[in-house]
Amino acid sequence: QVQLVESGGGLVQAGGSLRLSCAASGSGFSINTMGWYRKAPGKQRELVAAITSSGSTNYADSVKGRFTISRDNARNTVSLQMSSLKPEDTAVYYCNAGVVFHIMPHGYRELWGQGTLVTVSS
């Protein structure tokens, strides 16, 4: 079994920075695209940033220039460096990964982490 575990959330003042990390644990798999989504109170879940296995990135317009997504393929981790944080960035952030399984049961699955809370105070 493969699991995604996020870490790095917390409370930060507006203008501050946080770094979120997500690690995939298990065996017999490889990861294609990894990304970060967030769910703010009263809002729908939205894509924040994504990165392919080759390093191509995509960002929501609201975070461009402030957030940076990166990955370490050897460690099966993805990180989100968040700078110049705003109160509207407050949300539960979820790690997402497209996983190919090389052992039974073979197949492709999209996995989600449990979420980590980021709170930005004004």
* Cα 84 to Cα 46, 55, 65, 70, 119, distances in angstroms: 19, 23, 9, 18, 13
Structure tokens at 69: 């997504």
Sequence-distant contacts of 27-30: CB under 8 A, at least 24 apart: 27/103, 28/101, 28/102, 28/103, 29/2, 29/99, 29/100, 29/101, 29/102, 29/103, 30/99, 30/100, 30/102
CB atoms within 10 A of CB 21: 19
Cβ 59 vs Cβ 73: under 8 Å: no
User: What's the pLDDT tens digit per position in 91-121?
Assistant: 999 999 999 999 888 899 999 999 999 999 9
Paired strand residues for 98:
110
User: What's the pLDDT tens digit per position in 21-49?
Assistant: 999 999 899 999 999 999 998 999 999 99
